[in-house]
Amino acid sequence: MSQADMRWAQTLRTVDPAVLGSRVRSARLARGLNQTELAGEAYSVGYVSRIETGDRRPTLAAITTICDRLGISMSEILVGASEDQVDEIRLALTYAELALENGEPVDAESQARHALTRAEGLSLTDLIVRGRFVVARAQEALGRLDAAILEFETLLADVRGLDAIRCGIALSRCYREAGDLGLAIEIGDRIRPEIESSGLGRTDEAVQLAMTVVLAYLERGDLRRATRICTDAIALAEQTGSPTARSAAYWNASITYSERGDIQAALTLATRALALLGEGQDSRNLARLRLELGRLQLRLDPPDAGLALAQLERANQELRGTSASLAEVAQAQVLLARALVVDGRPDQALDVAVAARVANPGSASLGGAEAAIAHAEALAELGRNDEAIAVCREAAALLGSLDGADRWVAQAWCELAELFDLLDDAEGAHGALKAAARASGLQLRDRVRRRVYEDAT
């Protein structure tokens, strides 16, 4: 069987028999044939009749014969469109995907929506799914997380197999970026039955989903669960031998070890991941991994500013040519600004930090606050203390506007407290430490009520 026949056989297995039968009947009537003439000597009239009513799925040989007698292509019968029409839509979606990877989400969304409209008009199921996925990814890249989540959730209800896992990966990532860690984790539980029933547990996508969920566990502070998932994923990835799966497992295990304070082990794993990821074409994830390496090198004692800058400068350049969200680009600039401060280049750090504040899509966000802290650090290194204190207060206002207990917000408050202390602002440092305690979930007891309790005892 030729490759073309294999492709048509796959399409024949998935097409709705009722839709196929309707197309056969419409084509027959358009050519003025009756069922007897279409059946010829090869098939019975009853067989043709059952095909047209959707009661019988024809064999590949039968549908090939029917197409020959009707004088139309297999594509028109099985897909509902000519091969040229399908190729045009497929090419448009490929262009949209390339635009997205090249950091042009506006153009990507426009192209994908146009192709999606054409695919929906022709009922091209596989291209409809592909188009919806590109539209959702473009929304994510533009920072419209609510719209992206809605599109991914709607799509998840309509797909199965690998498409469902890919939706799960995107949804977990979007929920995490939106700050909803519970839903970011729950996505893994929702997709697991599909993975098991489809026998897809050893695929790259299944490993990547597990690793995406790990990041939500890390942000929630559940290092034990994150470590267990990473250990299992590394074992599975090394069995499959896939560079993509292994790099994902090593990468997220690196982040886990980093959170546990074992920076050297984290660096070793991240370096392995970078070597594997460099074999592929995933420029966005390659840039994100470089950011992680740079972050780890800054956490060494003493920091390795030279190696950190080499990774961070390259990552910043690479991210701008990918589908990375505005928040990711801004976060990369924050890390670069901090590395420049460590390297003794506060003037350059100041420029980068200001750019990060401008680029951050949400002013009242953790990313916006971190950019402000980097801005204040650069000013402090330049000896512009009054300006630095003013920016520190802006960062405090941003952090204060964030709801709920969050370890990353608590970490930002701690960094801000240290900066206030460096600037001899004791009141600011004290307030930031109290805010860090609240953000971490600690409850501060009222002094008056505590005295009442002590007097009573």
pTM of the predicted model over 0.85: no
In percent, the amount of the chain with pLDDT more than 90 equals 45
Q: What is the mean pLDDT of residues 66-87?
A: 83
Structure tokens at 86: 């399908």
Q: If you average pLDDT over residues 162-171, what whole number do you get? A: 94
Backbone phi and psi for residue 455, each to the nearest 5 degrees, phi listed first: -65, -35
**Rounded distance, CA 312 to CA 339, Å?**
8
Residue 335 has pLDDT above 60, yes or no: yes
Q: Sign of dihedral through CA atoms 123, 124, 125, 127? A: negative
Cis-peptide, bond into residue 302, ω within 30° of zero: yes
- For the residues 245-263, what does the mean pLDDT come to? 87
> Taking the mean position of all CA atoms in its chain, how far away is CA 382?
38
Residues 6+ apart with CB under 8 A from 231: 253
Decide if pLDDT at 280 tops 70.
Answer: no
Q: What is the pLDDT of residues 63-74, one digit of tens each?
A: 999 999 998 888
3-80: CATH number: 1.10.260.40
48 or 238: which carries more pLDDT confidence? Answer: 48
pLDDT digits (tens, 9 = 90+) for 46-59: 999 999 999 999 99
Q: State how far the Cα of 395 lies from the Cα of 376, in Å rounded to an integer.
A: 9
pLDDT in tens, 380-410: 999 999 999 999 999 999 999 887 667 788 9
Higher pLDDT, 304 or 364: 304
pLDDT in tens, 98-157: 898 888 899 999 999 999 998 888 778 888 999 999 999 999 988 899 999 999 999 999
- Among 138, 116, 137, 135, CA closest to 127: 116
- Residue whose structure tokens are 């599109």: 151
pLDDT in tens, 283-313: 778 888 889 899 999 988 899 999 999 999 9
- d(C-alpha 266, C-alpha 218), whole Å: 14
Residue ranges of domains in the chain: 3-80
54 conformational bin, left if phi > 0, alpha if psi -120 to 50, beta if neither: left
Asked if residues 156 and 171 have their Cβ atoms less than 8 Å apart, the reply is yes
Strands (E), 397-452: none
Coil, strand or helix: which one is 423?
coil
Instruction: In whole angstroms, give the CA distance from residue 28 to residue 71.
Output: 10
- The residue ranking higher by pLDDT, 456 or 170, is 170
Residue position matching structure tokens 């928040």? 327
Q: Phi first, then psi: what are they for 278, rounded to 5°?
A: -65, -15
> What pLDDT score was predicted for residue 455?
53
Query: Collapsing DSSP states into helix, strand and coil, what is residue 457?
Result: coil
